Amino acid sequence: MIVVADTSPINYLLLIGQIDLLPRLFGQIIIPNAVRDEMLDLDAPPILQQWIAKPLPWLIVQTVTVTDETLNALDPGEQAAITLAQTLSVDLLIIDERKGRQAASDRGIPIIGTLGILDDATSQGWIDLASAIAQLQQTNFRISRQITEMLLQKQVDS
């Protein structure tokens, strides 16, 4: 399975102590060099800077030299992640930002976000979704109450 990730899902999974879900669900994760650079930026959360300074074996950084110019409205990490996803014909792109998700969907790239990862991990019996969402809500992650309620209800119904 070929999976490319943008910065924010990795950041939020780190912040809530669930980064190990990525290799458990997907094996290896590929990030473009622009995403790595965002993680190393002095304005990035310290936990993210420390984590990317010593990347784990399941994380692969791939250089993207030319990005899709039609993606200029997005930040450099999103541009590079979507470009890399197109280039590699990925099975999945992990991305949270609405504009980035829409741009990827418009290009036929399958997407998942932080909540989708937490939902999948819950389905595997690895985590408690309500707890994970509560932790996520302690960060600056933006989520509508409607989506939260829908996900939690889905778990109750299963």
User: Is pLDDT at 93 greater than 90 in this prediction?
Assistant: yes
CA atoms within 13 A on the CB side of 157: 6
User: Regarding predicted confidence, which is higher, 35 or 157?
Assistant: 35
Contact (Cβ atoms closer than 8 angstroms) between residue 77 and residue 55 = no
pLDDT at 156: 67
pLDDT at 147: 81
Residues in the chain, how many?
158
User: Is pLDDT at 12 greater than 70 in this prediction?
Assistant: yes
Which among 45, 93, 92 has a CA at the least distance from the CA of 80?
A: 93
Pull the structure tokens for residue 157.
Answer: 């119904």
How confident is the model over 115-144, as pLDDT tens digits?
Answer: 999 999 999 999 999 999 999 999 999 887
pLDDT band at 158 (very low <50, low <70, confident <90, very high): low
User: Regarding predicted confidence, which is higher, 118 or 151?
Assistant: 118
Domains of the chain: 3-115 (3.40.50.1010)
CA–CA separation, 158 and 132 (whole Å): 18
pLDDT at 136: 93
pLDDT band at 68 (very low <50, low <70, confident <90, very high): confident
What is the mean predicted confidence (pLDDT) over 68-94? Answer: 94
Contact (Cβ atoms closer than 8 angstroms) between residue 54 and residue 105 = no
Burial of 45 from C-beta contacts in 10 A (0-12 / 13-18 / 19+): middle
CA atoms within 13 A on the CB side of 103: 23
